[in-house]
Chain A
């Protein structure tokens, strides 16, 4: 097995074991979606209208939950020292850690979204559109979050700093994700317009995220 493959397997195992972050994100997502109808009252039309926005917001916060431990845990137990010393390029290592995080945190959100959509009175088309936008958009949330996770690596309680740093950067993803989900169920713009922008944002974050995070890690570790 190559170094990067081993890292992917290890990070996914840690996330799925006791104390890992995999279940936490999707549970948070479910709880938020279940609480919103109680807060708004039994207005089905309102729920249907703001449902995609609520779920996108919940997905955004859920994918941030486990992110602050992504590099900090490796830093605290000394793994990051050995990873930095390794032969694998740091940019690829960071990208692989992002992939592992998305597979254990982002992907379960995509799978849970249609179930959660029922709570918010979404019809089948809206649910499919929502799941598709989440599938395309959540990698961007993870890979933008990598930058914040790398900057906050040496801080004991970097979670809040991470949210403050990362949330503003995710605003475009949120706007176009919700816009695409809404466009699918009717609206002035066709679905393709915001959805293409969302795809572009994700592709850009896949490239920029690992390089920026690796640069931040190198700077922090000295």
Chain B
């Protein structure tokens, strides 16, 4: 299984967010998407699962189930946790495992893995932000999907939970999974490659490489520079 993007461009609300982004992620590989706030990290992930329209370029998946779209073979962990406060922790997880099409809903194992097994019968409204995030991660463990798309997965997690998240990610990659993660901090995966959206910091550790140095660069990969985006023309019908 290989997820390949060639010259992806994103335009939202009349503004060019990024252009000419190319990457290729194979089985067992992780790609860390980096960039400043507003560089389009989340938009890129949402584009992969079809929640943001592709403005230009191509996105292809080789070796997956040809009957299914990329989104149907992927887990998307966004900023929001997609849990209903009035439902119990167990009911929330049960719903998503059923909805995402898991045959047998074995919930105690993923709940124990994220350390929420003792809170399974508590309404999700009582969970803290970090516990909600851990419940989202339990969703990734309960349903097997070959592609993981994680948006700031470690935010709100404590150090121990970040550690176990890194273990879950390593196990997923060990099974031949594909992973894209947007992050500011370290992923905890030494082998992860990096894709920079917008200005990348210079290799010498400087702040940035100048105003005109807009690059979408993937380290240890052939990379391409892109010109600064043209000024966005006024457009009608922008929501």
Q: Which of A14, A76, A87, A222 contacts B87 (CB 8 A)?
A: A14
Min CB gap B81→A, angstroms = 6
Residue of A nearest to B100 (CB): A86
When distances are taken between beta carbons in the complex, the residues of chain A under 8 Å from B46 are 81
Are B72 and A78 in contact, with the CB atoms below 8 A? no
Q: Which of B72, B80, B86, B95 contacts A6 (CB 8 A)?
A: B95
Q: How far is the CA of A2 from the CA of B72 in the complex (A)?
A: 15
Q: State whether A13 and B87 are in contact (beta carbons under 8 Å apart), knowing that A3-B101, A85-B49 are contacts in the complex.
A: yes
Q: State whether A222 and B86 are in contact (beta carbons under 8 Å apart), knowing that A6-B99, A87-B72 are contacts in the complex.
A: no
Residue of B nearest to A17 (CB): B86
Residue of A nearest to B68 (CB): A87
A132-151 toward B: CB 8 Å interface, digit per residue (1/0)? 00000000000000000000
Q: Which of A1, A2, A77, A85 has the most CB of B within 10 A?
A: A85
Q: Does B84 contact A (CB under 8 A)?
A: yes
B33-76 toward A: CB 8 Å interface, digit per residue (1/0)? 00000000000001001111100000000000000100110101
Q: Does B213 contact A (CB under 8 A)?
A: no
Are A87 and B82 in contact, with the CB atoms below 8 A? no
Are B99 and A222 in contact, with the CB atoms below 8 A? no
Are B96 and A78 in contact, with the CB atoms below 8 A? no
When distances are taken between beta carbons in the complex, the residues of chain A under 8 Å from B72 are 85-87
B residues adjacent to A (C-beta < 8 A)? 46, 49-53, 68, 71-72, 74, 76, 78-87, 91, 94-96, 98-101, 105
A residues adjacent to B (C-beta < 8 A)? 1-3, 5-7, 9-10, 13-14, 17-20, 76-79, 81-88, 221-222
List the 4 closest A-B pairs by CB distance, nearest first: A78-B80, A6-B98, A17-B86, A85-B71
Q: List 10 A-B contacts (CB under 8 A).
A: A1-B105, A3-B100, A10-B87, A14-B84, A18-B86, A77-B83, A82-B99, A84-B50, A86-B99, A221-B51
